[in-house]
């Protein structure tokens, strides 16, 4: 009888310690991940999450600046934003690709043209771009561009 009690108590303690160990390892692994979204969450936070001035989310190559060109010089255009948010200065270089139905050039950037600009926000509020789409065709509801 005494042996049965010892075996029973030993079995219960073994199960309790195994369960506690499993729980501890699971919690430890969760704390090491940092995010339930894993690497995708880290990439999102790096490019789209924290940052910017006054805790504003930064747009780095994911959301285009869309609207009408209202001014142009040799290295920049000013785009009147379609969402009514004012305007944005867009900086470009000789290596910036400018696209339309066929390959474009700086001369195609005319005041009144519709554009979608893909680039990185600068600290002064301007955008440095690697790509400008003339007359963007990706339209969503109410003839607005699709913004990713």
Residue 39: what pLDDT? 45
pLDDT, tens digit, 9 for 90 and up, residues 93-125: 888 888 776 678 888 888 888 888 888 888 898
Indicate whether 53 pLDDT > 60: no
What is the pTM assigned to this prediction? Answer: 0.41
- Greater confidence (35 vs 115) lies with 115
Residue 61: what pLDDT? 45
Rounded to an integer, what is the distance from CA 94 to the centroid of its chain?
A: 26
Same domain? For 22 and 75 the reply is: no
What is the rounded distance in angstroms from the CA atom of residue 140 to the CA atom of residue 16?
A: 58
Place of tokens 């699971």: 26
What is the rounded distance in angstroms from the CA atom of residue 105 to the CA atom of residue 134?
A: 10
Number of H helices, E strands in the chain: 2, 6
For residue 105 the two structure tokens come to 């050039």
Q: Span 12-37, mean pLDDT?
A: 73
Residue 138: what pLDDT? 53
Same domain? For 40 and 111 the reply is: no
Specify if 101 maps to a domain: yes
Residue 137: what pLDDT? 64
Specify if 148 maps to a domain: no
Indicate whether 60 pLDDT > 70: no
Which range of residues forms the domain containing residue 89? 64-143
Domain count, the chain: 2
Same domain? For 73 and 111 the reply is: yes
Specify if 27 maps to a domain: yes
Print burial letters for 74-86: b (CB count within 10 Å at least 16), e (below 16).
eebbbbeebeeee
Residue 72: what pLDDT? 93
pLDDT-derived band at 49, boundaries 50, 70, 90: very low
**The most confident of 17-26, 32-41, 48-57, 71-80, by mean pLDDT:** 71-80
Indicate whether 4 pLDDT > 80: yes
Are 126 and 88 spatial neighbours (Cβ–Cβ below 8 Å)?
yes
- Closest-CA residue to 93 (of 60, 59, 55, 120): 120
pLDDT-derived band at 78, boundaries 50, 70, 90: very high
Are 97 and 132 spatial neighbours (Cβ–Cβ below 8 Å)?
yes
Q: Where are the alpha helices (DSSP H) in the chain?
A: 2-33, 38-48
Specify if 97 maps to a domain: yes
Q: What is the CATH number of the domain that holds 68?
A: 2.40.50.320
- At residue 112's C-alpha, the angle toward residues 106 and 118, to 5°, is 55
- Closest-CA residue to 66 (of 127, 11, 4): 127
Indicate whether 140 pLDDT > 60: no
């Amino acid at each position: 009888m005494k042996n049965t009690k010892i075996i029973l108590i030993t079995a219960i303690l073994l199960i309790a310690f195994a369960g506690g160990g499993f729980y501890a390892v699971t919690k430890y692994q969760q704390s090491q991940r940092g995010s339930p979204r894993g690497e995708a969450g880290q990439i999102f936070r790096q490019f789209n999450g924290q940052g910017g001035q006054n805790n504003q989310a930064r747009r780095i190559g994911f959301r285009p600046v869309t609207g009408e060109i209202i001014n142009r010089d040799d290295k920049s255009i000013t785009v009147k934003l379609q969402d009514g948010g004012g305007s944005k200065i867009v900086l470009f270089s000789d290596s910036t690709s400018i696209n339309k139905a066929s390959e474009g050039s700086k001369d195609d950037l005319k005041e009144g043209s519709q554009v979608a600009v893909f680039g990185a926000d600068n600290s002064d509020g301007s955008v440095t771009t690697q790509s400008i789409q003339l007359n963007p065709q990706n339209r969503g509801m109410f003839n607005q561009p699709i913004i990713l």
